[in-house]
Structure 1
């Protein structure tokens, strides 16, 4: 790349990448478990499939972040798309447990590969064009909003397509007969997602220009990835602001695990049947994505009104925690009033999390050198996943009622309180000015805790 992309172009390409990557994921949300059941899988087997996904993503989160910092953003992001393509195809067409389990493990690998490169590419590009002090929050907010919109649209489309195919006389049966049972109506959203993945890979390879990196041999990769991973872990230990970002991600993971595990059962209890509960859950999931997108879109305004990005995180996580605590207090009640309160609280959880994310990541990018940016994002994602998994295990053994909800709400409230005791902003740490084009690693020292300007200017 001889000349850095201008910021509006980089922003549009980043938003497009977010949409193309997350739309296929949204298409799988509604039909996936039902498709596995239709293939004859037991609930124990399905739980094993999802465990394969989660464990693979957690195990590879840090190594793949380091790989992006060593080899480049574009090649790793394209690899994530190819793995997602293979995963969704196996899930849509697979008929045996080992194929379906392999598909979920490949999706977990793709999730780990994708957790940092696109955002790191956007930040690298903005810094190359306007310097390390350039405003990031607006682009990050638009990318987060685009992700939420893609998930919401995919969830609705993925739930509607099988239903629409069932409207025609015996259309679903004819489809299965023509493909010897490989393609069912529930498979169609996944196959559509696979087609979108092809477009995603082609777009990444053609649109995400980045400067050439030093030629990386196998020895460079093997030596550079562990060094970058270790640097990411050390950064959280040395820099108080980065540590708060990581801990806040863990609190968000606890909240998401709580709400995602408990909402389907609560929806079924409200409607009186699993089928109607599934429809209500799909509607709630879509509404949650929309609220998250609205929150992300409002993140720059929230930071301006709050006076800094740090106070914006405090306010946003506080709103989200209040929603989850309200869900807990209404869990023991029935009736129209409690349902309205619960739906409002559900929206507040996602609205607050959506508003907090861009400000948290703006803070993170101002503290981390370009050579370790994707790794830092992977550490953040790992914190979310690991704390979420632990919370899920605890929630699973707690008695039904308000207590499990209150556990997640308390964890999120603790994440918000991390941002209470802060003083005025100061310029970003010099480490954030490091260029992202060297192999590999984090700077050996980071400022003790300098405050950075987070007013969005």
Structure 2
């Protein structure tokens, strides 16, 4: 039998404190990811890895995330959000240190795998903690969208800031005479200018772990035993999967998330080459893409902050998702229809389309998750968020393969637009009433 989401009270932060804690956790977790994003590939090639080896390292990250996404979501539902989030920070700190200092390929691959494990552990528990805390203080009908929007905005803003810092720090270190050579010599080749953003990320991860352990309080849970964990985690995973197939609204959220994954895969795979073609060289194209990526995350953050306003203007959460995804679809169509055109106006339309894709997805996310949390109780909340994340990753990966084999031109962009349009139209009709919430796993 399922537990009410807002059952019980416990000493801890009020709603405002919970919001501050959630926003801070979101920012601190994603800032290191942004710091590593810009220099990562260049650092790995500087260490002597071929592009094929770099691809293998990234595959180790992706496969680890996919393999652990559901088990770690179930683990957070069984042993608690704070423990899992702290573990994610520790793993990410170790991963960034190994990648930033590692010189052997196996060390770098191990670091990427640990980063994937940390990403899987972090997928859902912070948001689940925030929703549980608000429900405990204000009841299961408490307003969630504003807090979810601010957390999403903090995440996107952190990545945008991190990308800019991660790209600027190695460049600034290289301004002085022989600064890069001096750094290599002083550290016996362990630290390169490109390593510095990742090592800064290690310090941020440690601050993140400290914040999680001190600011994120939880109600007491029964002491977890290995036997209980091994039994309850599969039960939580199964409950999450059953919700995805048994509840029409949750199924709609998952399908929409997959459509968004397709759109993001198309944009992220196709934009670097388009930037290089526009500027005339891969190097200048990389600089342009870094700026576009930062601008995209800023647009995503802005969209997230606008999500409550969009919901009020649209009338409710479902219409807000429809409007927001419609904006993203229009942006992707603008990118597709201008790919072969030249001149200032097509370039401006393409830039506007790029921003609209991220603006709309940012605005849709909080409303989607607000709807999701109203169909899921505390016992399966982190698992449901992991199922959502897994849907985006798996569909996005499949879409990336499809986009990669299509001929260059408008077609790959339009494929993403068509899939996103299909996800948008899912919200043209109202979802049926709730069926059943995720049941709590059996306890010792």
- Please tell me the TM-score bracket, short chain as reference: over 0.9
Equivalent position of 1:273 in the other structure:
281
The partner residue of 1:260 within 268, 277, 287 is: 268
Q: Is the aligned partner of 1:102 residue 2:110?
A: yes
1:76-91 to 2 correspondences below 5 Å: 76-91=84-99
What TM-score, normalized to structure 1?
0.93
The partner residue of 2:363 within 335, 351, 355 is: 355
SS of 2:218's equivalent?
coil
Any idea what the Cα deviations from partners look like across 1:234-260, whole Å, max 9, x if unmatched?
101110000001111101111111100
In structure 1, what is the Cα distance between the partners aligned to 2:116 and 2:173? Answer: 29
In structure 2, what is the Cα distance between the partners aligned to 1:194 and 1:440? Answer: 38
Any idea what the Cα deviations from partners look like across 1:210-249, whole Å, max 9, x if unmatched?
0011121111100101111011111011100000011111
In structure 2, what is the Cα distance between the partners aligned to 1:168 and 1:14? Answer: 40
1:219-238 to 2 correspondences below 5 Å: 219-238=227-246
Equivalent position of 2:173 in the other structure:
165
Conserved 8 A contact 1:214-1:439: no
- Unpaired runs of 5+ residues, structure 1, are 442-457
Q: Is the aligned partner of 1:48 residue 2:59?
A: no
In structure 2, what is the Cα distance between the partners aligned to 1:367 and 1:49? Answer: 37
The partner residue of 2:332 within 297, 319, 324 is: 324
In structure 2, what is the Cα distance between the partners aligned to 1:216 and 1:439? Answer: 13
In structure 2, what is the Cα distance between the partners aligned to 1:186 and 1:98? Answer: 19
In structure 1, what is the Cα distance between the partners aligned to 2:437 and 2:358? Answer: 33
SS of 1:216's equivalent?
coil
In structure 1, what is the Cα distance between the partners aligned to 2:436 and 2:441? Answer: 19
Cα displacement (A) at 1:421: 1.0
In structure 2, what is the Cα distance between the partners aligned to 1:96 and 1:261? Answer: 28
Equivalent position of 2:322 in the other structure:
314
Q: 1:440 to 1:283 in 2, by over 3 A?
A: farther
The partner residue of 2:218 within 183, 199, 210 is: 210
Conserved 8 A contact 1:29-1:158: yes
Q: 1:319 to 1:231 in 2, by over 3 A?
A: same
Conserved 8 A contact 1:4-1:128: no
Equivalent position of 1:142 in the other structure:
150
Cα displacement (A) at 1:2: 4.0
RMSD of equivalent CA atoms: 1.4
Q: 1:11 to 1:429 in 2, by over 3 A?
A: farther
Cα displacement (A) at 1:333: 1.2
Conserved 8 A contact 1:82-1:201: yes
Q: 1:303 to 1:412 in 2, by over 3 A?
A: same
Cα displacement (A) at 1:431: 3.9
The partner residue of 2:189 within 177, 181, 194 is: 181
Q: Is the aligned partner of 1:388 residue 2:396?
A: yes
SS of 1:277's equivalent?
helix
In structure 1, what is the Cα distance between the partners aligned to 2:101 and 2:408? Answer: 37
- Could you list the structure 1 runs, at least 4 aligned residues long, displaced by more than 3 angstroms after superposition: 428-432, 438-441
Equivalent position of 2:36 in the other structure:
28
The partner residue of 2:164 within 139, 156, 160 is: 156
Conserved 8 A contact 2:146-2:308: yes
Cα displacement (A) at 1:97: 1.0
Any idea what the Cα deviations from partners look like across 1:158-182, whole Å, max 9, x if unmatched?
0000000011010111000111111
- Unpaired runs of 5+ residues, structure 2, are 1-8
Residue range with higher mean Cα deviation, 352-361 or 328-337 = 328-337
Q: 1:403 to 1:224 in 2, by over 3 A?
A: same
Q: Is the aligned partner of 1:397 residue 2:374?
A: no
Conserved 8 A contact 1:53-1:104: yes
Cα displacement (A) at 1:430: 7.6
Q: Is the aligned partner of 1:247 residue 2:279?
A: no
In structure 1, what is the Cα distance between the partners aligned to 2:311 and 2:435? Answer: 20
In structure 2, what is the Cα distance between the partners aligned to 1:273 and 1:144? Answer: 34
Cα displacement (A) at 1:429: 6.9
What TM-score, normalized to structure 2?
0.96
Cα displacement (A) at 1:363: 0.3
How many residue pairs get aligned? The number is: 435
